[in-house]
């Protein structure tokens, strides 16, 4: 993986200890979670875990799902010292998470999420945005708008800023859409416009704090992977999960087919655009739908050569937003790859609209 540029969520100061955030729970909106309930704050020693996962790429072994859950819950609850936390995160950077470990970690994350209620009678899609654009325009906001037009509620979560990279937040801002900073605002946006963008801190302050450690550590950590897998809705939702290399694709298939099998409408995985969960407009990428323990290829890999990107090498948020407006107004055609992605999603969630 490439080392990311400077990353920020909502501007929350980096707390390497990951202390628990407390606050009132809006009635009828948030389910009970460990960040709003009284949590164990006693120190959690990690030496035995580090000894298991920290013997290098060849000598280390994976934790069981229960062990990974215990360790990651302690990390999210702020019980792990800075020194041990850094060691754990770097161990996983070298070793990578195995499917059983992902299962335990995700159980800890999901238990601490602030939960969202989808609009009545609709199945939403969750799009994670944690990579940003470096070489071609970030068109994930275009995908979100096209889906909303088909009646699919779209939740996009991710970074507000990534230094030199153009984030979805930048493009949404250029389109005049501010981020939602609490759950009631997310639910209102989904009802009113069909689209909500929120920083990860809104859904999980603890996960946001761990993501903020990417900058001082100089490399990504497990939170980058886990954030892309979260399902914050109280009812079933489709997740479109992007991967950047084949080995991670294999882990995802194993995880979703054999360990944490998702309920319908399942999970879609693909190699998107520079790590963003939007179809690559320059070359068709393989897309797989994972549900009920089965993986189905719903779009094959293209053979090339690559086509030109709609905006060429233009990346800035203002130009990207102008292009998106032109597409939405019918002045520019919908890129075929994104049109196909919209059609797949509408079918997967049981939508009744006609894909562009």
CA distance 291 to 261: 7
Closest CA to 338 of 280, 265, 259, 276: 280
Residue 253 tokens read as 């298939």
pLDDT tens for each residue of the chain, 356 residues long: 333 333 444 433 333 333 332 233 333 333 445 444 457 889 999 999 999 999 987 889 999 999 999 999 999 999 999 999 999 999 999 999 999 999 999 999 999 999 999 999 999 999 999 988 888 999 999 999 999 999 999 999 999 988 889 999 999 999 999 999 999 999 999 999 999 999 999 999 999 999 999 888 989 999 999 999 999 999 999 999 999 888 999 999 999 999 999 999 999 999 878 889 999 999 989 999 999 999 999 999 988 788 999 999 899 999 999 999 999 999 999 999 999 999 999 999 984 433 33
Q: Contact 44/33 with Cβ under 8 angstroms?
A: no
Residue 303 φ/ψ region, left for φ over 0, alpha for ψ in the -120 to 50 degree band, beta for the rest? alpha
Domains and CATH numbers, the chain: 47-111 (1.20.970.10), 125-349 (3.40.1030.10)
Q: What is the pLDDT of residue 38?
A: 58
Closest CA to 209 of 67, 10, 66: 10
Chain position carrying tokens 């889906």: 147
- Name every residue whose Cβ is closer than 8 Å to that of residue 182 and which is 6 or more positions away in sequence: 26, 202
Q: What is the pLDDT of residue 80?
A: 97
Q: Which residues pair with 125 in a beta bridge?
A: 154, 238
Chain position carrying tokens 């200890």: 17
CA distance 356 to 340: 8
The SS3 assignment for 239 reads strand
What are the angstrom distances between the C-alpha of 228 and each of 57, 109, 120, 163? 24, 12, 25, 20
Q: What is the pLDDT of residue 245?
A: 87
Q: What is the pLDDT of residue 57?
A: 73
Report the chain's terminal Cα–Cα distance, integer Å: 34
Question: Rounded to 5 degrees, what are φ and ψ at 222?
Answer: -55, -30
């Amino acid at each position: 993986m490439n080392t990311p540029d400077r990353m920020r969520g909502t501007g929350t100061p980096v707390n390497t200890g990951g202390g628990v955030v407390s606050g009132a729970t809006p009635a009828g909106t948030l389910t009970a979670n460990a960040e709003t309930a009284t949590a164990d704050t006693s120190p959690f020693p990690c030496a035995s875990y580090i000894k298991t996962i920290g013997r290098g790429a060849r000598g280390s072994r994976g934790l069981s799902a229960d062990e990974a859950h215990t360790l990651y819950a302690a990390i999210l609850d702020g019980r792990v010292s800075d020194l041990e936390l850094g060691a754990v995160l770097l161990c996983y950077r070298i070793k990578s998470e195995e499917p059983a470990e992902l299962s335990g970690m995700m159980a800890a994350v999901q238990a601490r999420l602030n939960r969202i209620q989808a609009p009545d009678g609709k199945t939403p899609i969750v799009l994670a945005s944690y990579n940003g654009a470096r070489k071609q325009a970030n068109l994930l906001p275009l995908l979100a708008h096209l889906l909303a037009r088909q009646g699919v509620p779209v939740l996009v979560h991710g970074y507000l800023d990534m230094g030199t990279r153009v984030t979805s937040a930048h493009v949404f801002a250029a389109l005049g859409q501010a981020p939602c900073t609490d759950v009631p605002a997310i639910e209102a946006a989904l009802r009113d416009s069909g689209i909500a963008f929120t920083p990860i801190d809104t859904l999980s302050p603890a996960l946001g704090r761990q993501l903020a450690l990417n900058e001082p550590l100089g490399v990504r950590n497990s939170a980058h992977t886990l954030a892309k897998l979260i399902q914050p809705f109280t009812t079933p939702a489709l997740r479109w999960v992007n991967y950047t290399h084949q080995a991670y694709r294999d882990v995802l298939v194993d995880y979703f087919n054999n360990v944490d099998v998702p309920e319908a409408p399942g999970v879609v995985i693909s190699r998107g655009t520079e790590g963003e969960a939007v179809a690559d407009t320059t070359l068709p990428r393989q897309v797989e739908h994972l549900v009920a323990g089965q993986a189905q290829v719903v779009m094959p890999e293209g053979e090339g050569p690559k086509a030109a990107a709609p905006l060429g090498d233009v990346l800035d948020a203002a130009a990207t937003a102008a292009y998106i407006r032109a597409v939405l107004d019918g002045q520019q055609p919908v890129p075929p790859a994104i049109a196909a992605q919209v059609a797949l999603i509408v079918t997967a969630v049981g939508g009744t609209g006609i894909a562009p």
